Structure 1
Amino acid sequence: MPLSNATLSSQPNRVALPGYDRAGLTPGIVHIGCGNFHRAHMAVYLDDLFALGGDHDWAILGAGVRPGDAAMRETLAAQDYLSSVIELAPGAHSARIIGAMTGFVPVEPGNAALIAAMAQPSIRIVSLTVTEGGYYIDPKTGTFSPDHPDIRRDAATPAAPETAFGAIIAALSSRRAAGVPAFTVMCCDNVPHNGHVTRDAVVGLARLSNPELADWIAATVAFPNSMVDRITPATGPRERAMAADMGLDDQAPVTCETFRQWVMEDHFPAGRPALEKVGVTFTPHVDAFETMKIRILNGGHAIIAYPAGLADIEYVHEALADQQLRAFLDAVLTREVLPIVPPVPGVHLPDYKALILERFSNPEVADTIRRLCLDGSNRQPKFIITSIRDALAAGGDAEGLILLSALWCRYCHGTTESGAAIAPNDPNWDMLQARAMAARDNPAEWLGMAEVYGDLAQNAAVVARFSTALRAVWARGNRAVIADYLG
């Protein structure tokens, strides 16, 4: 039975339904980027909150600026913006239908409908999940890039922007002209200091066409930092079959682990929903939680991904079941990462590491190694290279992290150790593959990517250790070199 408001009461008994009357919801949030993570994370928190009986003026109005967003709008509109979320505990599945979204703005060139929606006084938060690579950061400087073609285009046509940031600026300009208070801009992406990064993108773009407006945004608009966490695989045939087996006819089901976490700064001048009632942590120490998560969880994903990819392992839980690969992940985290992670209020870091290994081991999630290997050119600088720098600064040698970087290089050569082809898996794949091929004879070629490694290519000790590791991987194989590290 297709999912819709009319069929809610007829859904299978094992599926939990929204615990509130959706007709009583009104939107207070525009969310840009309604993919799997958003619908398994923020939408679930709000669904829980609405079921407590209040905050019904904080429903979500979906939005997007890319062709994929238009396809998602069409899919969700056909089922009255309902989504099913299947939580995957080891040996058990539970399904629920999320009703926190009440509509989805038309996706169109120039984003006039999105700008008009965000300009409405009832909208007090604009939130985003536009992926780690969507913030126009110059990889060489680590700051906002005003020279990106998308940014230059929006700066030239600020009334008809194509980016999410251009649309936010246009809506803020409209509100300012009408005397309507500014909304809060809430980043929900897995980006270090995500509030600051979002502020830099919005203010930086505004400054290119309207410096006065940029100054007003910088002085007026809140951009709270946050840390988000929930492992949410991509939806494919397996996930759709799982939904069907549970009696759900959902064209965009989401599967995820049972664990979820959201940590935020409490900086919302226009108001916010009472998310602390449903487990969200509001704290001034977001940076500590964020560093912990990025270095241990996201860094851990990278540490396990490339050796597993080279070994033709398909799923993350299979990599964790491999005694050597699990030991490698545990050893690098314990020896090199945990010592450089600052203390986190109320958290014992070895316990957090153990939780991460347990979450990675969940066979029900079936997260793929290929997904973890995706977009290394954007992820490595954030999740691994920063740890290498900090480990070196603390007097360590970062041996395992540098070995991991060599394994990434070997992966980007384009074949596994069995000779199987690796399909392109990075926006910069052609460049990475060319670098990896050149690095087989001259490893320093790989470290020459300044946008990834910065000045590490001038560190003789790093170059020597990387070169030794890469040559050993080519000569003796992934497994043998990892065994040396563990020994």
Structure 2
Amino acid sequence: MKLANETLGELDKRVALPAYDRKALSHGIVHVGLGNFHRAHQAVYLDDLFGRGLDHDWALTGAGVRAPDARMRDALRSQDCLSTVIELSASSTSPRIVGSMIDYVEVAETNGPLIAKMTDPATRIVSLTVTEGGYYVDPTTETFDPTHPDIVADGAKPEAPRTVFGAIVAALRARKDAGTPPFTVMSCDNIPGNGDVTRDAVTGTARLSDPALADWIGSNIAFPNSMVDRITPATGDRERALAAEYGLDDPVPVTCEPFRQWVLEDNFPQGRPRLEEVGVTFTDKVHEYERMKIRILNGGHAIIAYSGALLGCELADEAMAHPLVHAFFRKVEETEVLPHVHAVPEFTPAAYLELIDERFSNPAVKDTIRRLCLDGSNRQPKFIVPSILDGLKAGTSVEGLALESALWCRYCAGQFEDGSTIEPNDPNWSRLTELSDAAKSRPGAWLEQRTVYGDLARNETFAAVFADWLDRLWTSGTQATLETYLKA
């Protein structure tokens, strides 16, 4: 059955429906980036809140800034902006229809419709999930890059921006000129200090065309930091078939694990939904939660991803069931990651690792190893390199993290050990393949990626360990190399 407001009452009784009248909802949040994670996370929290009869004036309006976003708009608008979200555990499958989004603005090259919606006084929050790589950060300096061609173009034509940050600047300028209070900008992306990073992107973009406006934004706009978490695989035929098992004709269903977490700084001058009522943690210690999650979970994904891929694993739970991959994961986490992570009120690092072990091993989620291997050039400097730097500074072992880096290098060679092709899986794949080939004879060629490793190529300790592991991978293979590491 085609998903729509008028068909909700006719759906399979196993499917949970919105526990509120969607006609009573009114707009409060513009969200840019309607990928699976947002629809399984922020949209679900709001759906739960609305189901409690609270804050119906905080409904979502979706938006996108790239041409491909129009496909998602068409799909969601055709079903009244409803989303199918299916929670998967080892013992149960729980489908629900999420109704917290009520509209999706037109996707246009210069973002006129988006700017108009953000200028609407009813918009009090603009939230973002534009991926870790969507913030124009120079990995070498770890700061906003105003020289990126996209940003330079927005600086030259601020009235016709092509990036989300240029659109935010245009909307804030319009609200300031009209005397309308500014909205809060809330990043929900998985990057350290996401609120601070977003502030730098918005003010940096504004500064190219209007320095005074940039100063005003820096002084008057709230950019709360947050930590977000829920494992949400990409949608494919399997996910669509699963939705069809419940009679749902939805081209873009979302599957996810039952666990979810959202930690937020409480910095919302124009008000916010009462998300604490549905499990969101408001705290001034977001960075502690963020450090734990990024180092243990996201770093853990990288640890199992490349080792699992090279050993022929296709799914995350399959990798966790592989004795070598699981033992590698546990040893690196326990000896090289956990010592540099602090406890939070809910978890010690050790307890959090046990939770992550259980979540990665969930056989129902079917998270692919290929997804976890994606975009290593952007993820490694955020999820792995900080733990390496902490270990070197503390004088503790970085053997396993060096091996993880060597496994990534070996994966980027573009061929599995049986000679079959690894399809491109990084925006910089061609360059990475060239560097991987060069690193066979000169391992330092890989570490000289300053955008990933900074100055680590000059660290003789790390460079030597990395070189040794990379040589072992090429001469002995992944299985023997992991066995050597685990016996050490």
Tell me if TM exceeds 0.5. Answer: yes
Given residue 311 of structure 1, which amino acid in structure 2 is its aligned partner?
L
**How do residues 46-195 of structure 1 correspond to structure 2 at under 5 angstroms?**
46-195=46-195
Tell me, yes or no, if the aligned pair for 1:27 and 1:59 is still in contact at 8 Å.
yes
* Counterpart-to-counterpart distance in 2, 1:32 and 1:347: 31
Given residue 243 of structure 1, which amino acid in structure 2 is its aligned partner?
A
Q: CA deviation at 1:247?
A: 1.5
Runs (4+) of structure 1 moved beyond 4 Å?
none
Query: TM-score, normalised on structure 1?
Result: 0.99
* Counterpart-to-counterpart distance in 2, 1:143 and 1:348: 31
Q: CA deviation at 1:371?
A: 0.2
Given residue 442 of structure 2, which amino acid in structure 1 is its aligned partner?
N
Q: CA deviation at 1:126?
A: 0.1
Q: Report what 1:392 is aligned to.
A: 392
- Corresponding residue SS for 1:367: coil
**How do residues 335-354 of structure 1 correspond to structure 2 at under 5 angstroms?**
335-354=335-354
* Counterpart-to-counterpart distance in 1, 2:246 and 2:393: 52
* Counterpart-to-counterpart distance in 2, 1:311 and 1:66: 36
Unaligned residue ranges in structure 2 (runs of 5+): none
* Counterpart-to-counterpart distance in 2, 1:397 and 1:349: 18
Tell me, yes or no, if the aligned pair for 2:67 and 2:109 is still in contact at 8 Å.
no
Q: Aligned-residue CA RMSD in angstroms?
A: 0.6
Tell me, yes or no, if the aligned pair for 1:312 and 1:418 is still in contact at 8 Å.
no
- Corresponding residue SS for 1:15: coil
- Corresponding residue SS for 1:16: coil
Given residue 412 of structure 1, which amino acid in structure 2 is its aligned partner?
C
**How do residues 393-472 of structure 1 correspond to structure 2 at under 5 angstroms?**
393-472=393-472
* Counterpart-to-counterpart distance in 1, 2:18 and 2:179: 36
Given residue 94 of structure 1, which amino acid in structure 2 is its aligned partner?
S
Tell me, yes or no, if the aligned pair for 1:340 and 1:394 is still in contact at 8 Å.
no
- Corresponding residue SS for 1:108: coil
Given residue 154 of structure 2, which amino acid in structure 1 is its aligned partner?
D
Q: Report what 1:8 is aligned to.
A: 8
Given residue 319 of structure 1, which amino acid in structure 2 is its aligned partner?
A
- Residues 5-62 of structure 1 show CA distances to partners (whole Å, capped at 9, x for unaligned) of 0101101100000000000000100000011000000000000000001200000000
Q: CA deviation at 1:64?
A: 0.5
Q: Report what 1:486 is aligned to.
A: 486
- Greater shift after overlay, 413-422 or 31-40? 413-422
Given residue 206 of structure 2, which amino acid in structure 1 is its aligned partner?
A
- Corresponding residue SS for 1:436: helix
Unaligned residue ranges in structure 1 (runs of 5+): none
Q: CA deviation at 1:483?
A: 1.1
Tell me, yes or no, if the aligned pair for 1:24 and 1:56 is still in contact at 8 Å.
yes
Q: CA deviation at 1:463?
A: 1.1
Tell me, yes or no, if the aligned pair for 1:304 and 1:325 is still in contact at 8 Å.
yes
Q: CA deviation at 1:109?
A: 1.4
Q: Report what 2:270 is aligned to.
A: 270
Q: CA deviation at 1:346?
A: 3.3
Q: CA deviation at 1:342?
A: 2.2
* Counterpart-to-counterpart distance in 2, 1:207 and 1:216: 10
Query: TM-score, normalised on structure 2?
Result: 0.99
Q: CA deviation at 1:154?
A: 0.5
Q: CA deviation at 1:432?
A: 0.3
**How do residues 16-35 of structure 1 correspond to structure 2 at under 5 angstroms?**
16-35=16-35
Q: Report what 2:301 is aligned to.
A: 301
1:364 corresponds to 2:367: no
Given residue 10 of structure 1, which amino acid in structure 2 is its aligned partner?
E
Q: Report what 2:379 is aligned to.
A: 379
Q: CA deviation at 1:485?
A: 1.3
Q: CA deviation at 1:420?
A: 1.5
1:213 corresponds to 2:219: no
Q: CA deviation at 1:91?
A: 2.7
Tell me, yes or no, if the aligned pair for 1:311 and 1:418 is still in contact at 8 Å.
no
